[in-house]
Amino acid sequence: MGDPATLANLDKMYVADPRGLPDSAPYWLKGGERFFTRPGDFSHRTPSLIEPGKPQTVNLRVGDDLSAAPAAGYTPTVRLDIQAEGLWGRKDILVKFNNKVLEDCEFDGEFLHLPVSAKLVKSGINNIELLVKDATKTGIMLKELQLWITYEQNKQPSVQVSPAASLAPDRQSMLNVRDFGAIGDGRADDTASIQKAIDAAWHTTARGRRRSGGIVYFPPGRYRTTKPIRLRSNLVLTGNEGQYRGNEHGAEINSEADAGLVFWSGDWEEQTIVAETKTGRGRSCGGVVITKLAVKARKFAVHTLGCNSSNLRIENCRFEAGEAAFVSTGHLFFSLFNNIVCQKGLWFLQAQGRFNTSEISNVRVGMHGTRNDDWAIRLEGCIQCISLRNITFERQAKGILLDAKRNGINISVDGVWSYDIEDPDEIVRIKAGNAIMFKNIFATDQPQEFNVVGGNHIVLQGILAKTIDLHGRTSVTTVACPRVVNAGVGAVIDGVKIK
């Protein structure tokens, strides 16, 4: 499956039941030669009965040598999870791991979670003994037995750090990137130092699961980075007041990589990042806050890489990038984008995710007087319950592309101003969606086209554009919108229904 030295200190889950096959599991020798098939003791399809007073032993093979982890600079944490039908609480069962009784445990209604001392775990066969203590029970049906091993790297900063930075932070702590070695002079490579500060926000719960939740602070300066900075769940990245405006007293992350900030969980995978990248699908990196920062990058200032990045808040930020300021390609719920200035657009490409119950407000796309011929805002995929307010486009040939597919519903856009563009294209194109409202849309200087090529139950109010082309749509209501063309039967124009 991989190089043993590389895999040695990676997080793992060992299971005693066969996966993918109901009755047996194949084992393989080094070199790929299959040498025997082990019968499954139990599985979800064929659970094993444990009767009261009759202990049952499960043999669990572990490949890791945990005794070698400290010498490699890691601290292992081990947890045993047990799932069984008829198991109602922590007092129902006695569990021994290599003849040692596991005293401490938690029961969440489905799994029994038992911390295991790393010193008890052998490289090879481990014996897990299960005994139902309550003689009044008919027994339990064992379905699942998992041994989770996670590794925390021992932090040994190569630079002198402050006492506050060297401690494991709680959720209220603030970590200064300067304390982790960042210089912020625009010349030194601050990538590793910033990543150290973000990783230091991690902590491990009593159940051995990693969580994050620190505040990482950037003092004024220009922080040069050469690789994407990987964000963690529940992380806050912040500067100070006014930094996002790009003045000399602000903080700016200036990345030479394809993306400045990326959402990720687990071990990083080096990759080429494009707009549609969703290699993080199935990973979760939610609850992130980015505020009072400027970020520059070669292609994308911020990219979610397909991770579930729900409960995201981005406020008072300035983004500059060659293709798009922000790209989401995974689930994104309950999020806020407010008071953002960006050179290129905000793209929500939800081909395999949902953008739901969120707000985009007070956003300006366009800076430095540079013309942009791509869409400023792209809403594509399953778009539901989204509100856009007070959006300004400067020198943007194309404004908003809405392709919410058949499941998209309840999308409101109120207040769009597009100006200072020569040879304009479209200010809005609606391709699909349901229950859509666009109101107070103004394309000044050189009015742009407003196209409705798909969608249902669309309301347009106060649209100032070169033309409003309904492409034969019938489920459109327009109020006080000049130069409407190609209206279908059933459309309402200035209060008059077309028959």
Find all residues with CB under 8 Å of 165, minimum gap 6, and list them: 175, 176, 179, 180, 197, 200
Do 359 and 438 share a domain, yes or no? yes
> CA-CA distance, 373 to 493, in Å (whole number)?
31
Q: How sure is the predictor about 180, in pLDDT bands with cuts at 50, 70 and 90?
A: very high
User: What's the pLDDT score for residue 259?
Assistant: 96
Task: Tell me which of 111-115, 186-190, 216-220, 332-336 is least confident.
Answer: 111-115
Helices (H) and strands (E) in the chain, counts: 3, 42
Contact 393, 418 (CB under 8 A): yes
Q: What is the domain-level CATH number for residue 458? A: 2.160.20.10
The pLDDT of 368-390, averaged and rounded, is 91
User: What's the pLDDT score for residue 37?
Assistant: 41
The pLDDT of 391-409, averaged and rounded, is 90
- CA 90 centroid distance within chain: 34
Do 238 and 147 share a domain, yes or no? no
Q: How sure is the predictor about 160, in pLDDT bands with cuts at 50, 70 and 90?
A: very low
The pLDDT of 358-367, averaged and rounded, is 92
DSSP state of 109: S
Write out the two tokens for 170.
Answer: 């709680």
Q: How sure is the predictor about 106, in pLDDT bands with cuts at 50, 70 and 90?
A: confident
Do 123 and 170 share a domain, yes or no? no
Last residue of a domain, one of 151, 170, 202: 151
∠ CA 441-323-292, nearest 5°, is 75
Do 93 and 198 share a domain, yes or no? no
Number of domains the chain is built from: 2
> CA-CA distance, 41 to 60, in Å (whole number)?
11
Last residue of a domain, one of 118, 151, 184: 151
**Highest-scoring range by mean pLDDT, 125-134, 189-198, 366-375, 418-427:** 189-198
Task: Tell me which of 83-97, 136-150, 375-389, 466-480 is least confident.
Answer: 466-480
> CA-CA distance, 189 to 480, in Å (whole number)?
56
Do 321 and 419 share a domain, yes or no? yes
Contact 266, 274 (CB under 8 A): no
Last residue of a domain, one of 151, 183, 199: 151
Do 195 and 131 share a domain, yes or no? no
Find all residues with CB under 8 Å of 449, minimum gap 6, and list them: 424, 425, 426, 427, 465, 466, 467, 468, 469
pTM attached to this predicted model: 0.63
Report the length, in residues, of the chain: 499
∠ CA 149-151-153, nearest 5°, is 175
Q: Which amino acid is at 451?
A: N
Write out the two tokens for 415.
Answer: 């207040």
- CA 402 centroid distance within chain: 23
Do 339 and 484 share a domain, yes or no? yes
Q: What is the domain-level CATH number for residue 70? A: 2.60.120.1200
Do 102 and 245 share a domain, yes or no? no
Do 327 and 371 share a domain, yes or no? yes
Do 372 and 474 share a domain, yes or no? yes
Q: How far is CA 22 from CA 26, 62, 94, in A?
A: 12, 21, 27
Do 316 and 441 share a domain, yes or no? yes
Write out the two tokens for 392.
Answer: 């300004």
CA dihedral 168, 172, 178, 184 (to 10 degrees): 140
User: What's the pLDDT score for residue 90?
Assistant: 67
Range of the domain at 267: 155-497
- State the pairing for strand pair 111-116/313-321: unpaired
| pLDDT tens, residue by residue, 64-104 | 889 888 888 888 999 998 888 877 666 778 899 999 999 88
User: What's the pLDDT score for residue 212?
Assistant: 54
Do 356 and 427 share a domain, yes or no? yes
